[in-house]
């Protein structure tokens, strides 16, 4: 499991072609996944990120591009990733870059629409063990729902987001306290970018808030079990 540090190391973002004026690049750094940046043209579009030293990972969420090329200039990382339209997020761990560097994201032309993206996060990353077997995944429905007095259901579909819950085995003096205090206590339910597990990577990348604050049990002399729950941010 990875969590991108919510303290951003992005110093600047530039778009080519230019952004749609109604959907500027500043939208990429807010906490609202469905308030996107959008290109002004229906064509391949690049975002050039100037990133401060010490960054290790980048995450993107809510894009309509069928593929995204990620080029980390000073880390010699250059890979094009296919994006699953059902899970339109991506996490890339490229390793620590000690100097300020550039990342070029190329969003492939989705066809009739202009490329867009809701979230970009880039910073150092906290690394934890993958969740224990039994990780749960589900959905949370924000639709308007009301049962009428004749028994009919009034239902106006809204956002339906993913949820995850599980537990991880942590060393107490390092990972447990970092997860509980450095991350959860400091950030509360501010959305962060998570790679829930490194298995089948694209499915498990999610920009999410904590569904509830985590808790743990100190079952071993130097280790603890930590429970967590996540709700995909809107």
- With pLDDT > 70 as the criterion, what percentage of the chain qualifies? 99
pLDDT tens digits, 25-51: 999 999 999 999 999 999 999 999 999
Residues making up the chain, counted from first to last? 234
Contact partners, residue 57, CB within 8 Å, separation at least 6: 2, 4, 91, 92, 93, 94, 122, 123, 124, 125
Residue 230 has pLDDT above 90, yes or no: yes
Residue 203's pLDDT is 81
**Extended strands (E) in 41-159:** 45-51, 57-63, 67-72, 77-82, 89-93, 101-107, 116-123, 125-127, 136-141, 144-147, 153-156
Residues 44-77 pLDDT 10s: 999 999 999 999 999 999 999 999 999 999 888 9
The pTM of this model reads 0.94
Task: Determine the topology of domain 2-124 in CATH.
Answer: Jelly Rolls (2.60.120)
Q: What tens digit of pLDDT does each residue of 163-208 get?
A: 999 999 999 988 999 999 999 999 999 999 999 998 866 689 999 9
Domain ranges of the chain: 2-124, 136-232
Supply the pLDDT for residue 202: 66
The predicted pLDDT at position 199 comes to: 81
How far lies 111's CA from each of 38, 65, 66, in Å? 14, 9, 9
């Amino acid at each position: 499991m990875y969590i991108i540090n919510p303290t951003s190391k992005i110093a600047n973002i530039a778009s080519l072609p230019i952004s749609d004026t109604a959907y500027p690049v500043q939208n990429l750094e807010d906490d609202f996944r469905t308030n996107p940046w959008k290109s002004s043209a229906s064509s391949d579009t690049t975002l050039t990120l100037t990133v401060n030293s010490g960054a290790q990972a980048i995450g993107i969420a809510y894009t309509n591009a069928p593929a995204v090329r990620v080029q980390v200039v000073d880390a010699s990382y250059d890979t094009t990733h296919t994006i699953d339209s059902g899970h339109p997020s991506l996490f890339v761990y490229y390793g620590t870059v000690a100097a300020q560097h550039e990342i070029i994201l190329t969003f492939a032309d989705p066809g009739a629409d202009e490329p867009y993206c809701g979230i970009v996060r880039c910073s150092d990353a906290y690394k934890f063990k993958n969740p224990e077997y039994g990780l749960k995944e589900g959905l949370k429905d924000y639709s308007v729902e009301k049962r009428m007095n004749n028994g009919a259901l009034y239902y106006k579909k809204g956002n339906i987001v993913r949820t995850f819950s599980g537990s991880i085995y942590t060393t107490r003096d390092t990972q447990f306290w970092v997860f509980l205090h450095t991350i959860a206590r400091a950030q509360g339910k501010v959305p962060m970018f998570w790679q829930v597990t490194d298995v089948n990577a694209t499915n498990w990348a999610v920009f999410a808030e904590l569904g509830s604050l985590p808790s743990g049990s100190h079952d071993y002399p130097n280790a603890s079990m930590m429970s967590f729950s996540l709700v995909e941010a809107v």
